[in-house]
Amino acid sequence: MTSDQPLDETIDLTGPVATPRINGNGSANGNGSANGNGHAPAAPAGLDGVTWAPAYDRASVERYLESLDAERARLESEIADADRRTVAAREALTARTSELEAALGAVVLAARSELARIEREQQETVAAIRADAEAEAARIREAARLEAATVRDAATALGSTSPTEGRADAG
């Protein structure tokens, strides 16, 4: 086989590249020649010890590139699907957040309304208690005024102007 002829074998390109088998005489084909004429090609100056990689036929390379394109397309599809799911999740989160904010707003509004009602009731209760207390104080003052008037009238009727005047223990 000459170096310008493609390899007919199928090569698995999914694994690591294998180091070519070199026979003791430096050839890959066992006849002492890497190019088929019995003489090994001369290595360019400064490249002693270079290992030559095997050549692949065009069909193998094209199949490998097609498999790469298919894998790239599959991965791009998965990424696009993940992006769509991410967008959908963000939209759902936004909608749920809006729902919760609306519900929380309704709860806060109801709580404010209830608090205002309780404050009104408390103010009404305080006003009623104050009115009752003022009425009771007015009743007590009126009763005390009436009692004082009764005592004064009784003292006047007895002829004294002072409640202690005319009492035996006053002096």
Q: Is the pTM of this model over 0.85?
A: no
Q: Residue 59's pLDDT is what?
A: 87
Task: State how far the Cα of 52 lies from the Cα of 18, in Å rounded to an integer.
Answer: 11
- Given a contact cutoff of 8 angstroms between Cβ atoms, the answer to whether 50 and 20 are in contact is no
**What percent of the chain clears pLDDT 70, i.e. is strictly above it?**
61
Torsion of CA 18, 19, 23, 25, to 10 degrees: 160
- Given a contact cutoff of 8 angstroms between Cβ atoms, the answer to whether 35 and 83 are in contact is no
Smallest Cα–Cα separation from 115: which of 107, 126, 105? 107
Q: Flag whether pLDDT at 30 surpasses 50.
A: no
Smallest Cα–Cα separation from 22: which of 47, 44, 55, 54? 54
> Could you report the per-residue pLDDT of 92-108, keeping only the tens digit for each?
999 999 999 999 999 99
pLDDT band at 161 (very low <50, low <70, confident <90, very high): low
Q: Flag whether pLDDT at 118 surpasses 50.
A: yes
Torsion of CA 38, 39, 41, 47, to 10 degrees: 130
Q: Residue 159's pLDDT is what?
A: 79
Q: Residue 58's pLDDT is what?
A: 86
Q: Provide, for the chain, the percentages of residues in helix, strand and coil under a 3-state DSSP scheme, each rounded to the nearest 5.
A: 60, 0, 40
Task: State how far the Cα of 129 lies from the Cα of 125, in Å rounded to an integer.
Answer: 6
